[in-house]
């Protein structure tokens, strides 16, 4: 019993802030160019640039399409890693993973719906969404090294050996 507890303690070493930021940067470096490429191929990029240049906000329909394409691409890239290992590509490269507070793997539906989808939806709210996104990230500087999405989901990011 003691050996099992010691093993759990070893696998639940909190990930450093740098490795968490590194994982997000890697995920972004992969995802953003792909999204821009899709937008360019579909003509959405020209619409986006034209709207921004003229100070016209995107329609609800255009925002919804962009959101759905972004979430779909995120799932295509990371869904298997999240379901099987609690990792995105960036987390896998940085050797960290998302686990529950006992160090166990979190179910895919809970992980995606609360940790990723819920916060992505909230950030779509003008002004308040951006502020919440900032507060979410700033929580990483607290002693538990958990963002708001970690508290919502009951997760933590740990070193994965």
Residue 11 is part of which domain span?
Answer: 2-159
Closest by Cα among 21, 11, 116, 104 to 71: 116
- The confidence band for 7, taking pLDDT boundaries of 50, 70 and 90, is very low
What dihedral angle (degrees, nearest 10) is formed by the CA atoms of 70, 128, 144, 152? Answer: -70
- Which pLDDT tens digit goes with each residue over 100-113? 999 999 999 999 99
User: Which whole number is the average pLDDT over 47-52?
Assistant: 91
Q: 92: which 2 tokens?
A: 């896998």
Q: 7-43 as b/e, with b when 16 or more CB fall inside 10 Å?
A: eeeeebebbeeebbebbeebbeebbeeebeebbeeee
Contact 28, 93 (CB under 8 A): no
Q: Across the chain, what does the average pLDDT equal?
A: 91
Which runs of E-coded beta strand occur in 16-137? 96-100
How many structural domains is the chain composed of?
A: 1
């Amino acid at each position: 019993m003691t050996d099992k507890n010691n093993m759990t303690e070893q696998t639940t070493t909190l990930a450093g802030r740098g490795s968490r930021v590194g994982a997000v940067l890697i995920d972004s470096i992969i995802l953003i160019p792909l999204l821009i490429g899709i937008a360019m191929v579909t003509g959405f990029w020209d619409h986006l640039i034209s709207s921004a240049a003229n100070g016209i906000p995107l329609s609800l329909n255009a925002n919804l399409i962009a959101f759905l394409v972004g979430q779909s691409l995120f799932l295509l890239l990371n869904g298997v890693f999240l379901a099987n290992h609690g990792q995105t590509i960036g987390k896998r490269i940085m050797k960290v993973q998302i686990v529950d507070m006992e160090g166990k793997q979190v179910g895919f539906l809970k992980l995606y719906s609360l940790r990723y989808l819920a916060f992505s939806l909230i950030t779509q709210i003008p002004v308040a969404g951006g502020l919440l996104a900032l507060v979410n990230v700033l929580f990483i500087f607290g002693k538990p090294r958990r963002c708001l999405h970690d508290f919502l989901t009951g997760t933590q990011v740990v070193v994965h050996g």
